[in-house]
Amino acid sequence: MEYLQEGPPSDALKSKILCCECGTEIEPNPANMCVACLRTHVDITEGIPKQGTLYFCRGCERYHNPPSEWVHCALESRELLSLCLKKLKGLNRVKLVDAGFVWTEPHSKRIKASTLASILGAGTKQVLPVFCEFRFLTNKIGFFLVFIKNVNILGLKIEMGTDIAYSLLCKL
């Protein structure tokens, strides 16, 4: 009498199929494609923007965190990286594996963030790097602009040597 062993199947019992594109031997998946062929047909980074803008105040050296908050962040810090990743709208449909900064010239007013995005596409896991470039736009924040907000308009009447009186509006 022979007993059947219960447990996980051995590697010899697993079935293999050929990739429908290149013909390499793979384990079956819903797309019936190997990872290399699947990457050529499906781009998981399609909806992720490659460029963005960060608003930076030169007066107090803070970055704008929408809608109305300004936060202190050092260059290449964790806080600045999270601020950059919040600006990328397409990251909600992929899983973020890793994120970091890529070195750029300090005077270029640009920062590059690299992320590794993965998705289970057609039964296989794809991990692709995504490089996003952010520009710094300088902007003054509220308490530096308080003088512009409270501008009074003064009407002046200038009389010249003619019969017509000219009125002039001046901003103080």
Give per-residue pLDDT as tens, 65-112: 888 788 888 888 899 888 988 888 887 778 888 888 888 887 888 888
Q: Does residue 39 sit in the same domain as residue 54?
A: no
Q: Does residue 99 sit in the same domain as residue 74?
A: yes
Examine residue 78 and state whether it is found in any structural domain, yes or no: yes
Look at 14 and 72; give whichever has higher pLDDT.
72
Q: Does residue 87 sit in the same domain as residue 140?
A: yes
Q: Which two tokens stand for residue 146?
A: 């308080």
Give the model's pLDDT for residue 6. Answer: 64
Question: Would you say residue 9 has pLDDT above 70?
Answer: no
Neighbours of 129 (CB within 10 A): 11
Tell the burial category of 108 from Cβ atoms under 10 Å away from its Cβ (0-12, 13-18, 19+).
exposed
Examine residue 3 and state whether it is found in any structural domain, yes or no: no
Give per-residue pLDDT as tens, 19-43: 888 889 988 888 888 888 887 887 7
Give per-residue pLDDT as tens, 111-136: 888 877 776 655 567 777 888 898 98
Q: Does residue 133 sit in the same domain as residue 147?
A: yes
Examine residue 148 and state whether it is found in any structural domain, yes or no: yes
Question: Would you say residue 137 has pLDDT above 80?
Answer: yes
Tell the burial category of 121 from Cβ atoms under 10 Å away from its Cβ (0-12, 13-18, 19+).
buried
Cα–Cα distance, 50 to 45 (Å, whole number): 9
The whole domain housing 150 covers 44-171
In the chain, the N- to C-terminal Cα span, in Å, equals: 104
